[in-house]
């Protein structure tokens, strides 16, 4: 089996969350050879959905169709993730206690926010790296100082000159805590603020359904933020190489609120958001929405194409797109966008930024991967 076939099998397994009647069809397409199971693990790991795959297979009594050693491996990483996420939630409680003492209002976003909102039926289902917290009322620096007064440290100093274009404070870490903390003053990058300002998030926030005293985004805002964060801020719309974790979150959210209606009411970036909606339907083999545009079809074709690329081809493809965005499109934006100017010149004036920039490229494009 090649990578594209494995990706499609994984997607079909995850679709059991909304199409449980597919169980018999899934059994027929599961890998049979050990080497194909190894590829299955690599693709699932790259897309950060191994825990979701394990739980979906377990809940549909399909684990018996997996090799015994793979069953044991998946169960082990699931248990480890339960321990990790339990620790992360406790860390979040400690952080919230500090913020409550300072009168700092906050909303938990992304993975931690989804866990606090009960989006997943198992605490070990979602891989969470950072605790993302949106701070209300330009109090990000105050919130960061409050955490540093309680033992948190950052590996990268905050550059006050970059404040006008800053989305979040450098990641804060504390000895003994498994997750870093990203304190956001903005929910999205500065050039998407007109369509998704922090006021929108706080005006429609919901109390956590899991833990008293925590606030999370509304389901509609989660859907929009999922799109903006993965497709535009991380340029997945241009790369067409979309993480299954983001699509799977969108799939789960679609069971609580209509994604199509949410995007239509949002009105911003309509072509790109509807292309993302179409991609979710295609990946999980669901009936496609009625709206079709050339942009939709182009994204779907490019996504299918990226699944056939070798590691080297994919690396070159991503590098060229990123180079265009960062070194041509962004400098051009500085001509008419003062926040873009601040973003660029604040970094160019920081001598430490150059080394960090090179190291980021090394991690992103030259890390080892065995799957082709």
Mean pLDDT of the chain: 91
User: What is the model's pLDDT at position 360?
Assistant: 74
**Residues 198-230 pLDDT 10s:** 999 999 999 999 999 999 999 999 999 999 999
User: What is the model's pLDDT at position 371?
Assistant: 43
- Asked whether the beta carbons of 213 and 101 are under 8 A apart, the reply is no
Widest CA span of the chain, in angstroms? 60
- Asked whether the beta carbons of 117 and 209 are under 8 A apart, the reply is yes
Average pLDDT in the 82-103 region? 96
Residues 6+ apart with CB under 8 A from 26: 12, 13, 16, 60, 62
Q: Does residue 332 carry a pLDDT above 50?
A: yes
Report the alpha-carbon distance of residue 234 to residue 70 in Å, rounded: 32
- Asked whether the beta carbons of 271 and 279 are under 8 A apart, the reply is no
Average pLDDT in the 94-102 region? 96
**Residues 244-285 pLDDT 10s:** 999 999 999 999 999 999 999 999 999 999 999 999 999 999
The model's confidence at residue 58, banded by pLDDT at 50, 70 and 90, is very high
Q: Strand 130-135 vs strand 215-216: parallel, antiparallel, or unpaired?
A: unpaired
- Asked whether the beta carbons of 273 and 236 are under 8 A apart, the reply is no
**Lowest mean pLDDT: which of 94-108, 162-176, 324-338?**
324-338
DSSP secondary structure code for residue 168 in this structure: B
Report the alpha-carbon distance of residue 78 to residue 114 in Å, rounded: 18
Q: Does residue 370 carry a pLDDT above 60?
A: no
| DSSP H stretches of helix in the chain | 3-14, 23-29, 34-46, 50-59, 68-102, 110-116, 140-148, 198-203, 219-227, 236-239, 244-254, 259-266, 270-283, 294-306, 311-324, 330-333, 338-348, 351-365
Report the alpha-carbon distance of residue 153 to residue 50 in Å, rounded: 31
User: What is the model's pLDDT at position 365?
Assistant: 62
The model's confidence at residue 82, banded by pLDDT at 50, 70 and 90, is very high
- Asked whether the beta carbons of 73 and 182 are under 8 A apart, the reply is no
Which of residues 341 and 217 earns the better pLDDT score? 217
Tell me what percent of the residues of the chain surpass a pLDDT of 90. 70
Q: Does residue 369 carry a pLDDT above 50?
A: no
The model's confidence at residue 358, banded by pLDDT at 50, 70 and 90, is confident
The model's confidence at residue 23, banded by pLDDT at 50, 70 and 90, is very high
Average pLDDT in the 275-299 region? 83
For 9, how many CA atoms within 13 A lie in the half-sphere containing its CB? 23
In this structure, the number of other CB atoms found within 10 A of the CB of residue 27 comes to: 12
User: What is the model's pLDDT at position 7?
Assistant: 95
Q: Is residue 52 exposed (0-12), middle (13-18) or buried (19+ Cβ within 10 Å)? A: buried
């Amino acid at each position: 089996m090649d990578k594209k076939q494995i990706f499609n099998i994984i997607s079909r397994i995850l679709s059991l969350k909304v199409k449980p009647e597919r169980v018999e069809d899934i059994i027929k397409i599961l890998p049979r050879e050990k080497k194909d199971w190894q590829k299955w693990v690599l693709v699932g790991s790259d897309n950060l959905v191994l825990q979701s795959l394990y739980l979906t297979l377990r809940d549909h009594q399909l684990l018996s169709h997996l090799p015994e050693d793979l069953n044991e491996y998946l169960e082990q990483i699931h248990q480890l993730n339960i321990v990790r996420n339990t620790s992360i939630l406790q860390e979040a409680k400690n952080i919230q206690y500090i913020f409550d003492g300072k009168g700092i209002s906050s909303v938990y976003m992304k993975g931690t926010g989804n866990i606090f909102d009960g989006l997943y039926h198992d605490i070990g289902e979602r891989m969470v790296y950072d605790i993302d917290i949106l701070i209300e009322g330009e109090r990000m620096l105050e919130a960061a100082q409050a955490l540093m007064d309680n033992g948190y440290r950052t590996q990268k100093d905050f550059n006050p000159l970059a404040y006008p274009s800053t989305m979040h404070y450098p990641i804060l870490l504390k000895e003994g805590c498994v997750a870093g903390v990203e304190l956001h003053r903005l929910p999205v990058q500065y050039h998407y603020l007109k369509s998704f300002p922090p006021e929108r998030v706080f005006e429609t926030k919901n109390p956590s359904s899991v833990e008293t005293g925590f606030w999370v985004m509304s389901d509609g805002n989660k859907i929009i933020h999922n799109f903006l964060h993965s497709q535009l801020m991380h340029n997945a719309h241009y790369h067409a190489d979309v993480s299954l974790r983001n699509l799977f979150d969108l799939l789960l959210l679609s069971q609580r609120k209509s994604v199509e209606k949410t995007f239509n009411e949002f009105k911003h970036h309509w072509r790109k958001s509807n292309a993302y909606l179409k991609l979710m339907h295609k990946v999980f083999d669901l009936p496609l929405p009625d709206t079709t545009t050339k942009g939709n079809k182009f994204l779907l074709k490019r996504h299918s194409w990226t699944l056939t690329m070798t590691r080297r081809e994919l690396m070159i493809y991503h590098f060229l797109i990123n180079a265009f965005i960062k070194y041509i499109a962004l400098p051009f934006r500085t001509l008419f966008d003062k926040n873009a100017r601040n973003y660029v010149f604040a970094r160019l004036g920081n001598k430490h930024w150059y080394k960090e920039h090179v190291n980021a490229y090394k991690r992103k494009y030259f890390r080892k991967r065995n799957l082709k």
